[in-house]
């Protein structure tokens, strides 16, 4: 189907079409499509832009990744489909960043497809296609990791992670940086540094901030991060967007006088509908 | 993969698995899976239960459908996959209710698969498999309807509708009852009677209310409905759930003193995570 650029949700429709295509090519599983929809609603409620609070988190994330001895970014099917280019740019901006494929619904061909998408986007070395280590006490395939990557990492960037693994990584003493649009998810709540932002926007900002940081002469360090405040900020942003949206009201005139008040929310389409 | 009933999101995981299966059988398209995810987030934010306001809307919907000359319910792939049984029960509760398959991404086999799911669930007569009429000024396949169903209907129940068609049906002078978890969607905002509730819960309650109503001796009528108030109620419910959720805060102790305040949100898993 051809998408019209005049559709009020054109940008979302394009991303959806891209994911549906990645699904047909075997990168993304049905559960990944459903997860994308969940994130879409949160992004919509967050105003579909990086909040000042998220931007601050992204800058601290850049600093942590630069200061780490063994930084790693974990890539699943949705990240491979949506942000392979951004992962490649991040790997260029953070020297020593390991890039590892890690799938909840793992099959050999799927792991290979995600690795291929990353290599095509310019990632020189992709770990995790043939796992060589295991995270203890984690029942899903997400436990299967690479000895040279997640297994030995001190700082893990986990975009679109599931809650079980975020908790398991943290229990191993690793610092967990999550990228998750849901500020209420177990992943966001378990992460040391929860970034509540869309994955492409977040990865780009981390890479940009890392470039800026490296130009400075002082060595990077691991500044503290107030995760409670970051989660609270995201929820406040949602509450603010909701009350703004609430003012729009119904479309079109009431058919009969259903209420005494006249509908004020006339004005046809709005770009801000989901 | 086997699902554990102890998982904090077990109920959602089961529905997701059911939809993923319906997708493999050709009922549900990738875009339908993404749409389900969007709805899942709204349901979560609405507390995953029928609000008093939604229940009132469902009762008025039952009355409108009983009072209609030509009531119709429109069924797409997701509705067929999730609620075929509920559609059959509704058809039993509302005499003369036409059940029509209507697909955004229409193919012959897909329309037949949805019709088959409905018949298996007990719907005796399914319209829309071979469309015989067209809704004017609607570019998608959703314009293709049945002469004996949507084309002549005075009251249309449209669960999980898209905004374009909700507006097109309304422009034809039909009364539109929507079931949509997003109170900000164009569908909810264009409907004469927006029901902001999960599709299974909503259909069950409409069928139940119709049974109760039919037991009364007075003829059903079309009472007015305050759609502005219904949408505002849903947004208030979300705002209330959000502030309740916000109190939970991060999981686990802070790694180093990231903030002066101690984290209070310890307590392991909560059922209310997404």
Q: Cβ A23–B30 below 8 Å, yes or no?
A: yes
User: If you compute the radius of gyration of chain A from its CA atoms, what whole number of angstroms results?
Assistant: 20
Average pLDDT over residues A168-187: 95
Nearest alpha carbon to residue B214 among B59, B51, B53: B59
Query: Which of residues 27 through 66 in chain B touch A, CB cutoff 8 A?
Result: 29-31, 33-42
Q: What is the pLDDT of residue A168?
A: 93
ipTM tops 0.90: no
SS3 content of chain B, % helix, strand, coil (to 5): 50, 10, 40
**Confidence (pLDDT) at B221:** 93
Q: What pLDDT score was predicted for residue A180?
A: 98
Taking residues A114-140, what's their average pLDDT?
94
Distance CA A239, CA A233 (A): 10
Q: How far is CA B128 from CA B107, B112, B150, in A?
A: 12, 9, 9
Find the closest chain A residue to B161 by CA distance: A274
Residues A34, B24: C-beta atoms closer than 8 Å: no
Could you please report the per-residue DSSP string of B200-215?
A: HHHHHHHHHHHHHHHT
Chain B: give the shortest CA distance to residue A48, in Å.
14
Q: Is the pLDDT of residue B273 over 60?
A: no
- Is the model's pLDDT at A194 over the cut of 70? yes
In angstroms, the CA A138 to CA A226 distance is 27
**pLDDT tens per residue across span A35-58:** 999 999 999 999 999 999 999 999
Where residue B263 falls among pLDDT bands split at 50, 70, 90? very low
Mutate to test the interface with B, among A20, A33, A233, A256 (most CBs of B within 10 A): A33
Are A166 and A191 within 8 A, CB to CB?
A: yes
Closest alpha carbon within chain A to B194:
A250
Residue B246: its chain A contacts at CB < 8 A? 231-232, 235
Question: What does pLDDT average to over chain A?
Answer: 90
Structure tokens at B195: 């029901």
What pTM did the predictor assign? 0.89
């Amino acid at each position: 189907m051809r998408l019209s650029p005049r559709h009020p949700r054109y940008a979302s429709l394009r991303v959806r079409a891209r994911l549906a295509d990645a699904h047909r090519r075997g990168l993304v599983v049905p559960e990944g499509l459903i997860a994308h929809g969940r994130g879409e609603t949160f992004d919509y409620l967050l105003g579909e832009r990086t909040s000042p609070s998220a931007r601050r988190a992204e800058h601290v994330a850049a600093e942590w990744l630069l200061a780490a001895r063994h930084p790693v970014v974990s890539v699943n099917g949705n990240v491979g489909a949506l942000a392979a280019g951004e992962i490649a740019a991040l790997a260029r901006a953070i020297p020593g960043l390991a890039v590892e494929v890690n799938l909840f619904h793992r099959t050999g061909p799927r792991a290979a497809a995600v690795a291929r998408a990353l290599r095509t986007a310019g990632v020189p070395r992709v770990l995790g296609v043939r796992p060589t280590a295991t995270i203890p006490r984690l029942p899903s395939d997400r436990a299967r990791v690479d000895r040279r990557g997640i297994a030995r990492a001190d700082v893990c960037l986990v975009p679109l992670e599931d809650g079980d693994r975020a908790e398991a990584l943290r229990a191993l003493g690793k610092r967990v940086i999550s990228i998750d649009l849901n500020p209420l998810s177990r992943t966001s709540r378990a992460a040391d540094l929860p970034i509540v932002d869309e994955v492409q926007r977040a990865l780009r900002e981390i890479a940009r901030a890392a470039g800026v940081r490296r130009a400075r002469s002082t060595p990077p360090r691991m500044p503290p991060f107030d995760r409670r405040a970051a989660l609270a900020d995201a929820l406040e942003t949602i509450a603010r967007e909701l009350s703004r949206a609430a003012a729009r009201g119904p479309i079109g005139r009431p058919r009969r006088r259903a209420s005494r008040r006249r509908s004020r929310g006339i004005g046809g389409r709005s770009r801000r509908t989901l």
